[in-house]
Copies of this chain bind each other. A is one copy, B any other.
Amino acid sequence: MQITSPSIPSLVSSSDHLLEALAAHYMAMPPVAAMQPSVLDWQDGCLRMHAPLDANVNDKGCAFGGSLSSLMTIAGWGLAFLKLAEAGLEADIYVADSRVRYLKPVYEDLLVEVRLDTAGENAADAIDLPGALRGKGRASVRMEARTLLADGGVAAVLVGRYVAIARD
């Protein structure tokens, strides 16, 4: 999956501007806009996103699994974008592969959080994504995204591998 990076706002000093750019980027894609996702916050390396159940419901009254998967996937993409944009870098970011486990049905609004995997495969790139991109022109990172339930449970887990390629 390829998603072009949105233009990095000139006022990169504020992460609010990056979150706004990311949200605008999401809404520019029809199948993403249909999910009505919103960016909640980004702190301590964790990006959190929300989507209303109504726009993502199946006939059973719970969340469509494809929406869970898509929301977790774009959250991972967004985290890579934010990490790079914060450092003033623009890149083409792709999800190369992903694995999703569906654990519990979701009968409420969707809440997703995603973090870089800084301990597993490609840990060095994840620990310093901007540095890896500057040094090699490309970086590969793993992410883990989770769909959380209000009761503290985990409804779904996505582990994805993303590739960032520096723009000339």
Which residues of A pack against B, CB within 8 Å? 1-4, 25, 28-32, 34-35, 54-60, 62, 64-70, 73-74, 94-102, 105
A96 to chain B, nearest CB (A): 6
Known: A54-B30, A68-B1. A100 touches B102 (CB 8 A): no
Closest to A96 in B: B102
- Report 29 cross-chain contacts, Cβ distance below 8 Å, ordered by A residue: A1-B64, A3-B59, A3-B60, A4-B58, A4-B60, A29-B58, A30-B34, A30-B57, A31-B34, A31-B35, A31-B57, A31-B58, A31-B66, A31-B67, A65-B73, A65-B95, A66-B70, A66-B73, A66-B74, A69-B69, A69-B70, A69-B98, A94-B102, A95-B102, A96-B101, A96-B102, A97-B99, A98-B99, A99-B99
Q: Which residues in B have their C-beta under 8 angstroms from that of A30?
A: 34, 54-57
A27 and B74 alpha carbons, distance in the complex (Å): 24
Integer count of this chain's copies in the complex:
2
Q: How far is the CA of A4 from the CA of B60 in the complex (A)?
A: 6
In the complex, chain B residues whose CB is within 8 Å of the CB of A105: 2
Contact partners of A73 in chain B: CB under 8 A? 65-66, 69
Chain B residues with CB under 8 A of A99: 97-100
Are the C-beta atoms of A64 and B96 separated by less than 8 Å?
A: no
Q: Given the complex, which residues of B lie within 8 Å of A68, measured CB to CB?
A: 1
Chain B residues with Cβ below 8 Å from A65 are 1-3, 73, 95
